[in-house]
Amino acid sequence: MGGMLENQVAIITGSGRGVGREVALMMAEHGAKVIVSDRDEGPANEVAAAIRESGGEALVYCGDVTASDFAKGIIGETISAFGRLDILVNNAGYTSDALIHKMTDEQFQAMLDIHLIAPFRLIREASPYMRDAAKKEIEQGIVHHRKIVNVSSVAGISGNVGQANYSSAKAGMVGLTKTVAKEWAGFNINSNAVAFGFIDTRLTQPKELGETVDGVAVGIPEKVRNMFIDKIPQKRAGDPKEAAAGIFYLASPLSNYVNGQVLHINGGTYT
């Protein structure tokens, strides 16, 4: 396989399903060696198998991104297997909604843990293989861009009813993204974020389907879901492949002079 990401190594959290899955397949199609990470082994193994069947390379690392040893474990396995790290996509997450006056401390903390603290830990753990590796390359006159892409949300930009926890965490992710860009841009590391609007995934599927994550119901009541979609200028939800394309752009050489930015992928919601 060949392409824009040939021989690069990419970690994508939450890549067993939805947008993360499409990102993993897209990057592999363009030559990247992909670490498929999910808390559920079944979906992760399916994505890795699909990559291998197409002639690509994939490693599966399953676990809970909020665990204190997750970052060390996945980075260690990646370096052991491939000896390098070029792309880090912080995509894993879910929602746990409630109005502010009904929201528990545990609900609020859970969103910070998965959407903000876990990405911070991964970026920090990756620093020897991104920042320090780049310093050595620069001393040798080598220019090689590495990419960090964090998945934020329209909720993190403008807030959202019932999502004080999620909105706060996703807003924090924007601040983290911009700070990493300012600290690491001089090392040819591009740190950017995508802010998704309404993308068709299990987090936005009709809540009536009854799917849960850690016992928490995910999805949106169908009536509310239809109201959201009606307000989108393009009058439809985004497809996971369309969402993945934005992440791919920020992870590819096409964005080598894009840094500290938030790419809004929302069908024109803010127009």
Helix (H) / strand (E) element for 21: namely helix 18-29
User: Which residues neighbour 60 within 8 Å (Cβ) at sequence distance 6 or greater?
Assistant: 35, 36, 37, 41, 44, 45, 48
Q: Is there a catalytic annotation at residue 166? A: yes
Measured in whole angstroms, the distance separating CA 45 from the mean position of its chain's CA atoms is: 18
Separation in Å, CA 41 to CA 15, 36, 89, 101, 235: 11, 10, 19, 36, 35
List, as one string, the DSSP characters of 38-80. ES-HHHHHHHHHHHHHTT--EEEEES-TTSTTHHHHHHHHHHH
Helix (H) / strand (E) element for 87: namely strand 87-90
Amino acid, res. 131: R
Asked if residue 37 lies in contact with residue 116, where contact means CB atoms within 8 angstroms, the answer is no
* Residue among 61, 129, 166, 270 flagged as catalytic: 166
Angle (CA) 32 37 39, round 5°: 170
Measured in whole angstroms, the distance separating CA 180 from the mean position of its chain's CA atoms is: 15
Asked if residue 230 lies in contact with residue 162, where contact means CB atoms within 8 angstroms, the answer is no
Asked if residue 202 lies in contact with residue 175, where contact means CB atoms within 8 angstroms, the answer is no
Q: Which residues are catalytic?
A: 166
